[in-house]
Amino acid sequence: MNIEKKLQEKTIQALQSLYATTVEKVALEKTNHDFKGDYTLVVFNFLKISKKKPEDTAIEIGNYLKTNLPEVADFNVVKGFLNIVVKDSFWLNYFQSSFNKPFINPTLPENAPTVMVEYSSPNTNKPLHLGHVRNNLLGFSVAEILKAAGNHVVKTNLVNDRGIHICKSMLAWQKWGGGETPESSGLKGDHLVGKYYVEFDKHYKSQVADFKSKGLSDEEAEKQAPLMLEIQDMLRKWEAGDKVVRTLWEKMNAWVYKGFEASYKMLGVSFDSTYYESNTYLLGKNIIDEGLASGVLKRRADNSVYIDLTADGLDEKTLLRADGTSVYMTQDLGTAVQRFEQHKFNKLIYTVGNEQDYHFKVLFLILKKMGYKWADGLFHLSYGMVELPEGKMKSREGTVVDADDLMQEMVNTAAATTKELGKTEGLSDADADKLYHTIGLGALKYFMLKIDPKKKMLFNPSESIDFNGNTAPFIQFNYVRIQALLRKANENNFNVLNESITVNIPEVILPKEKELIIRLYNFNTALKQAADEYSPAIIANYVYDLAKEYSQYYHDTPIFKEESKDLILFRLQLSKTIGDAIKSSMKLLGIEVPERM
């Protein structure tokens, strides 16, 4: 049992003993740096039961804890705040017992719950862009955090590979492509297909403008434009299995998948399973039949099928059109059922931007009304959009920030900054290139993940590559600094890396050393909170604070100048453990750490 839980349980006992009152739980906070203490209990909520002043209540609880919990060394009271001091011996015993043990347990318990995390969900008519970058990094990191927290995780992708938007790229390539291929053009396949998506929009807008000049309304012009009629005809042929259309579709999608694979590899994300809309868009029709039979769903006079959610504060949602064709919601219903049948998940997390909040409210509610008990385990990880200083991105107009270009820009910027700071001296060209990728992509990932997922974010690449401040390069540099220290230790016969070596505990440690050990102890607390809240930002803030505290400690504490070899060894062991914690934390964010720089 960790110390925080012990303090909470003993506080509950104190309230029972002192005031004959039972409470289910109490909340502790980390003590403010301005006061002495490790944990703080706010006692204002207990004044009604104690019938005493805040200070007197806090003193009584503090005395009970000091008397009945051996780990409590002392306490102090500031108005209604009880600041609890944990004995140094507790922290030192923790450090001694945890040295050289992994921060992340590599084995899962046999009864580990299954959590499916969906992310990416790209369209095969264009390359990945900045918005996809946040989506992929967020989904992948949440999956890693959940796995480290003891869950069996299935990372999945739903590829939108069919529909009228896909046909736009196909028709444009047919008309204006001239047989161009990724090989003949030198373009990645997803970039080539995206080029024709933009080309379609350009010609379509021209046709719409021409029709409007002849007196048609906006709606009439958009519907009657020849390109729109051709697109609709192509989609009908695709759904009918037309061989020519299907062959073109398969060829262009293959180009895109190869491009996506390269982007995912550079971004450092992966999937355990991939679903394709072309295989799932017909799913859900059986569910519609079940819903009609049970009376949950209704049929209109025009033959369309809907569910009335007005009593739940929503609206009427159409699930089948009058012509019998399905809508996105129908597909999502079927896909959710299929996924449960295949994986028997305890939880399914959809990583999708907050513009789809309403869609997922409706989806989850329909499944619950249909009697699927596992629908209680569905969760929409709703995140804020990524915006640029110049404004919003528009795919059709080709004004998006391309993911591949962005990643390469980050690598180039990292190379320039790293060279300027002289951090590549002694590295081979290959090792230097690897370092630029590690720093550049680490900076991108950290910048994206340090912001609470629910918040909208403004992306500014220049702020992310900085070896000072709340950035990945700063954290990576402190990890590298520790590795250099350990190499020097090895050269001086301090064998810190020996797994069987015991920890030498000095009689007295510095306040900063105690603070660093407490931060190490709090790794699991941060991990649990990040898993509970699906927020990599908690891990990002944790590892930054740890690196910042160590940076100051390293600057103020000349380790090798100590006379006591035992003290030198203890500080090296502390440094090594902090390095392990940094590496484990960054791994949860999908970020690599270099060994040299």
3-state secondary structure 7-74: HHHHHHHHHHHHHCCCCCCCCEEECCCCCCCCEEEECHHHHHHHCCCHHHHHHHHHHHHHHHCCCEEE
C-alpha to C-alpha distance for 71 and 79, rounded to whole angstroms: 24
Identify the pLDDT of residue 327: 87
Closest to 459 measured CA to CA, from 391, 386, 535, 352: 386
Structure-token pair, residue 553? 């400690």
Q: Classify domain 403-588 at the CATH topology level.
A: Isoleucyl-tRNA Synthetase; Domain 1 (1.10.730)
Tokens at residue 517, please? 């050990």
Distance CA 597, CA 594 (A): 7
Which 3 state secondary structure label does DSSP give 475?
A: helix
| One-letter identity of residue 121 | S
Taking phi over 0 as left and psi of -120 to 50 as alpha, with beta for the rest, 391 belongs to left
The CATH architecture annotation of domain 3-86 reads 2-Layer Sandwich (3.30)
Is the distance from CB of 592 to CB of 442 less than 8 angstroms? yes
Alpha-carbon distances of 296 from 287, 437, 499, 522, rounded to whole Å: 11, 54, 62, 48
**Contact predicate 551/478, CB 8 Å:** yes
Give per-residue burial for 360-369: e unless 16+ CB within 10 Å, then b.
bebbbbbbeb
Torsion of CA 437, 440, 441, 446, to 10 degrees: 150
- For residue 140, which of 412, 318, 349, 389 has the smallest C-alpha distance? 349
Residues whose CB is less than 8 angstroms from the CB of residue 20 and which lie 6 or more positions away in sequence, other chains included? none
466 CB-side CA count, 13 A:
10
**Which residues, including other chains, have CB under 8 Å from residue 149's CB and lie 6 or more apart?**
527, 528, 530, 531
To which residue do tokens 């791994």 refer? 587
- For CA atoms 15, 20, 21, 22, the dihedral sign is positive
Measure CA of the first residue to CA of the last residue in the chain; give whole Å: 40
What is the rounded distance in angstroms from the CA atom of residue 546 to the CA atom of residue 464?
A: 19
% residues pLDDT > 90 (the chain): 76
Residue whose C-alpha is closest to residue 590's, from 478, 462, 441: 441
Strands 81-86 and 28-30: unpaired
Question: Where along the chain do its domains lie?
Answer: 3-86, 163-267, 403-588
User: Judging by DSSP bridges, how do beta strands 152-159 and 273-276 pair with one another?
Assistant: parallel
Q: How far apart are CA 307 and CA 387, in angstroms?
A: 35
Rounded distance, CA 396 to CA 417, Å?
Answer: 34
Residues of the chain with pLDDT under 70: 1, 388-399, 497-500
Per-residue confidence (pLDDT) for residue 394, from 0 to 100? 43
pLDDT of residue 457: 85
One-letter amino acid identity for 273?
S
User: Which letter does DSSP use for residue 123 in this model?
Assistant: B
Give the model's pLDDT for residue 519. 95
Q: How many CB atoms lie within 10 A of CB 143?
A: 28
State residue 1's pLDDT score. Answer: 61
Query: CA triplet 591, 593, 597: central angle to 5 degrees?
Result: 140
The vertex-340 CA angle with 334 and 344, nearest 5°, equals 175
Rounded Cα–Cα distance for residues 233 and 359 (Å): 28
Residue length of the chain: 597
Q: Which residue has the tokens 């980050």?
A: 410
